[in-house]
DNA sequence: CGATAGGTTGAGTCTTCTCAAAGATCGTGG
DNA sequence: CCACGATCTTTGAGAAGACTCAACCTATCG
């Protein structure tokens, strides 16, 4: 396992430099692999590990009574999933591998112990939770007030932000095995509506959809196409 | 000022008994009063205090580009507002007094210092942030998949939960100066839609709407009227 | 008692949903 | 390398829900 990767991931997630090595001291990390479709944990389970993605794609899902599902979050390499369980260990959604995935598990109990030795890091964790909360507020505003096209733009913006963070060569090309149904489930609309939303975005020349690859052709212009009522502050430079 | 009130409020919010007095040690709390419509802080401001509501009604608002507003949260007495700013101090929404309001301000810097002496409390703060995050996820599911009636039910459930927590004699009577426009702004629909949603709920005999007073006549039956697709897990016994 | 804010109701429009069929793409096995 | 099946996407038509606009009703307060 590449421990440097995890050390760097911790510092990227916490936005604090130089603490990753210390935080992994005396922590028994191990590598886990999941196949596409495997469930890492179910809603309601006790979560005992943080997971640092090294390869693949993870999504958080809530299942509705009628069989529909709400995809709450997508996680890519460098993401560390589970900070929200440092306080309360009960999983608030299913965590599912979206494709073959490799992740490094970090026992929460041990991690919390090393956090005690680094107040700076502990503060950063709290700060991270704040950012995640704020991001969710923003998404709530989009869901409450935006139309389908705006929701799609918000969604693409979020994925792109992570690729920018990861310093990918071409952050505008989202290399993701994502069907329109997946996007629909993330945005609370139907696949038909997603298809029509992409048709509009393609007609405007800002996006090129292609399963397995979505390409953002004109990022600034894309943002302008979001309905004006949610434009302000709806696109922070964040990725939580 | 009634310090006992704040001590008890801290313990209620953190869900930990016996720590309130310690946490207020050497903390310079003070009482502030705001008139209806006053802004406590604006989005983007640095937040330097927690606020414990002792009287009145506070709401968190985001303003949209077209003048619409999204009401993100309502806070009532015993609530402590601002835990999400312990990490990152930048306000993510306007905080506005909805009616004449009295609150006790608790300097964040001092509070964080006393937190260091009580790891149990520090853990409880993290736990609280987790609960808030989870609540927002739930609301996102309702906004994404629920119809107007379901959103109203979710909203009333949330207000009632706080009254239950506060041990009000009649938790089913929401004594709130809330217009239909306010509810509309909280749920991302129009006042006309709210009017029609209440008409349906009143026809079903589960709610009685009356400005300045909303009465839940049949709580279990009300929950049953929410659209089946969001029924599961959409109504946790929480109030964050 | 009138002014004002808030609530209700109706008609027409728009967006999204549902249902359904047809077209495109991908992976696999022959 | 092609054919086939499975999955995904596109398109159309009709229905449902929410929105807009506007008029009218109601309660409250000075």
C-alpha B175/C-alpha B187 separation (Å) is 19
Take residue A123 and report the two structure tokens written for it.
Answer: 């503060």
B212 C-beta less than 7 Å away from strand C: no
Tokens of B77: 């007495």
Question: Given A43, A84, A231, which is nearest B65 (Cβ)?
Answer: A231
Euclidean distance between CA atoms B13 and B147, whole angstroms:
31
pLDDT per residue as tens digits for the range B2-60: 789 999 999 999 999 989 999 998 899 999 999 988 999 999 999 999 999 999 999 99
Strand B80-81: give its sheet, edge to edge: B30-34, B101-107, B49-55, B80-81
Tell me the pLDDT tens digit for each residue of B68-117.
899 999 999 999 999 999 988 999 999 999 889 999 999 999 999 998 88
A-chain CB neighbours of B119 within 8 Å are 116
CB contact under 8 A, B64 and A229: yes
Strand D neighbors by CB, 7 A: A 179-181, 191-192, 195-196, 198-199, 209, 211; B 147-149, 188-190, 192-193, 197, 212
Q: Backbone phi, then psi, for B166, in 5-degree steps?
A: -80, 0
* Average pLDDT over all residues of chain B: 90
Cβ–Cβ below 8 Å for B232 and A63: yes
Work out the pLDDT band at B234, boundaries 50, 70, 90. low
Whole-number Å distance, CA B147 to C1' D5? Answer: 38
Distance from the Cα of B234 to chain A's closest Cα (Å) equals 9
Least CB–CB distance from A137: residue in B86, B136, B145: B136
Contact A92 B133 (CB under 8 A): yes
Nearest residue on chain A to B134, judged by CA atoms?
A92
pLDDT of amino acid B232: 59
Q: How far is the CA of B214 from the C1' of C7 (A)?
A: 14
- Measured in degrees and rounded to the nearest 5, phi and psi for residue B129 equal -65, -40
Q: Which residues contact B219 (CB under 8 A, 6 or more apart)?
A: B160, B172, B206
Pick from A204, A213, A223: nearest CA to A161: A223
Q: What is the pLDDT of residue A7?
A: 94
- B132/A133 touch (CB, cutoff 8 Å), yes or no: yes
* Chain A hits for B226, Cβ within 8 Å: none
Contact B126 A129 (CB under 8 A): yes
Q: What is the mean pLDDT of residues B224-236?
A: 70
CA distance B108 to A230: 31
Q: Which chain A residues 175-234 have CB under 7 A to strand C? A: 188-190, 192-193, 210-212
Partners of residue A143 in chain B, C-beta under 8 Å? 140, 143-144, 188
pLDDT in the model for residue A1: 62
CA of A228 to C1' of D23 (A): 29
- Quote the percentage of chain B above a pLDDT of 70: 94
**pTM for this predicted structure:** 0.93
pLDDT at B28: 93
Return the pLDDT at A13: 94
B140 → closest Cβ in A64, A116, A140: A140
The residues, ordered by sequence, that sit 6+ positions from A195 with a Cβ below 8 Å of its Cβ are A180
Distance between CA B209 and CA A88 in Å, rounded?
Answer: 37
Q: For chain A, which residues score pLDDT lower than 70? A: 1, 211, 228-240
Which residues from chain B sit within 8 angstroms of residue A137, using beta carbons? 62, 72, 92-93, 136
Q: How long is the CA B131 to C1' C7 vector, in angstroms?
A: 36
The residues that bridge with B101 in the sheet, in sequence order, are: B34
Run of H or E including A47: none
- CA distance from start to end of chain A: 25
Residues A212/A179, Cβ–Cβ less than 8 Å: no
Chain A to chain B, count of Cβ pairs less than 8 Å apart? 140
| Whether B105 contacts A56, CB under 8 Å | no
Average of per-residue pLDDT values in chain A? 90
pLDDT over 90 (residue B207): yes
Q: What is the pLDDT of residues A167-189, one digit of tens each?
A: 888 899 998 889 999 999 999 99
Q: Is strand C in 7 Å reach of the CB of B192?
A: yes
């Amino acid at each position: 396992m590449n421990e440097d990767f995890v050390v760097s991931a911790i510092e990227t997630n916490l936005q604090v430099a130089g603490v990753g090595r210390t935080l992994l001291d005396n922590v028994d990390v191990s590598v886990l692999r999941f196949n596409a479709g495997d469930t890492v944990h179910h809603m309601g389970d006790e979560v005992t590990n943080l997971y640092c993605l090294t390869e693949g794609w993870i999504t958080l899902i809530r299942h509705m009574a009628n069989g529909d599902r709400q995809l709450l979050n997508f996680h890519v390499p460098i993401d560390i999933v589970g900070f929200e369980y440092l306080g309360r260990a009960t999983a608030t959604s299913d965590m599912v591998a979206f494709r073959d995935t490799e992740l490094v598990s970090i026992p929460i109990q041990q991690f919390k112990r090393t956090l005690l030795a680094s107040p700076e890091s502990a503060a950063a964790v709290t700060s991270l939770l704040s950012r995640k909360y704020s991001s969710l507020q923003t998404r709530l505003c989009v869901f409450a007030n935006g139309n389908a096209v705006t929701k799609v733009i918000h969604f693409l913006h979020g994925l792109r932000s992570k690729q920018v963070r990861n310093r990918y060569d071409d952050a505008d090309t989202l290399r993701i095995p994502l069907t329109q149904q997946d996007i629909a489930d993330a945005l609370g609309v139907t696949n038909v509506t997603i298809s029509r939303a992409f048709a509009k975005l393609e007609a405007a020349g800002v996006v090129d959809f292609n399963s397995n690859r979505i390409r953002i052709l004109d990022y600034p212009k894309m943002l302008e196409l979001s309905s004006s009522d949610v434009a302000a502050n709806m696109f922070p430079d964040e990725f939580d």
